[in-house]
Chain A
Amino acid sequence: NSKVIQTPRYLVKGQGQKAKMRCIPEKGHPVVFWYQQNKNNEFKFLINFQNQEVLQQIDMTEKRFSAECPSNSPCSLEIQSSEAGDSALYLCASSLIRGHSDYTFGSGTRLLVI
């Protein structure tokens, strides 16, 4: 069982609706990554955090996506206005040390935008 907890497992939204998903990183892990895996198995890095601070994010994330990792609360990724192309598996991962890539993914949130 993954030590990174993602909720919900499935999310169905209409176009234009907000879609919000959450991630609880593994205990004691300050670094969090979000990725998108589309139906063609293309993985796209979205954003990463160290504690509450954004380390880096891609342009897509800056425009319609928002994310945060508040202290003592789950991290979250929210799409402000969902589009059909956002339908994908959203994966969260955490790491103990910044720069380490041997992280474990959560079970993911599968988003369907209809």
Chain B
Amino acid sequence: QQQVRQSPQSLTVWEGETAILNCSYEDSTFDYFPWYWQFPRESPALLIAIRPVSNKKEDGRFTIFFNKREKKLSLHITDSQPGDSATYFCAASGGTQVVGQLTFGRGTRLQVYA
């Protein structure tokens, strides 16, 4: 059973539009939710993260919205740029897992066209 699910699997937007990437999770004891982005032939890099004490975390054009009751979160990328084209992974840690272990979703592949 997938503990972290992401949708859509792929997403295409035009430059300047807002891209919305969704994530949901099963374990209500997860207490840390980082998003990673990964460019082709590179390793994942930490983009932005949130803890359940907040329902929103903003960093420039990237914003996480968090709904603890529904166990959902989303990453909004405003004014999308071609350089944002990458695969985005939602992850979670805490709860019953190995201490410090991250559980990843399978990613959303974002393509931004100029």
| Interface, chain A (partner B; CB < 8 A) | 2, 31, 33, 35, 37, 40-43, 45, 48, 55-56, 89, 91, 95, 98-108
Max chain B CB contacts within 10 Å: which of A41, A100, A102?
A: A41
Q: CB distance A48 to B34 under 8 Å?
A: no
For the complex, give the distance between the alpha carbons of A100 and B96 in Å.
Answer: 14
- The reply to whether the CB of B76 lies closer than 8 angstroms to some CB of chain A is no
Q: CB distance B93 to A105 under 8 Å?
A: no
Complex A-B: 21 CB contacts under 8 Å? A33-B100, A41-B89, A41-B106, A42-B104, A43-B91, A43-B103, A45-B102, A91-B44, A98-B99, A101-B34, A101-B91, A101-B94, A102-B32, A102-B46, A102-B49, A104-B45, A104-B46, A105-B44, A107-B42, A108-B42, A108-B43
Q: CB distance B99 to A99 under 8 Å?
A: yes
| Interface, chain B (partner A; CB < 8 A) | 32, 34, 42-46, 49, 87, 89, 91, 93-94, 98-104, 106-107
Contacting residues, chain A, for B103 (C-beta < 8 A) = 43
Q: CB distance A107 to B106 under 8 Å?
A: no
> If A31-B100, A48-B98, A100-B100 touch, does A41 touch B43 (CB 8 Å cutoff)?
no
Q: CB distance A56 to B89 under 8 Å?
A: no
> If A41-B87, A42-B106 touch, does A2 touch B100 (CB 8 Å cutoff)?
no
For the complex, give the distance between the alpha carbons of A100 and B49 in Å.
Answer: 12
Contacting residues, chain A, for B98 (C-beta < 8 A) = 45, 48, 55-56
Q: CB distance A101 to B45 under 8 Å?
A: no
Q: CB distance A102 to B44 under 8 Å?
A: no
For the complex, give the distance between the alpha carbons of A33 and B42 in Å.
Answer: 18
Closest CB in chain B relative to A26 CB, distance in Å: 13
Contacting residues, chain B, for A106 (C-beta < 8 A) = 43
A107 and chain B: residue at smallest CB distance: B43
For the complex, give the distance between the alpha carbons of A113 and B68 in Å.
Answer: 42
Closest CB in chain A relative to B43 CB, distance in Å: 4
Closest CB in chain A relative to B27 CB, distance in Å: 14
Max chain A CB contacts within 10 Å: which of B32, B94, B98, B107?
A: B98
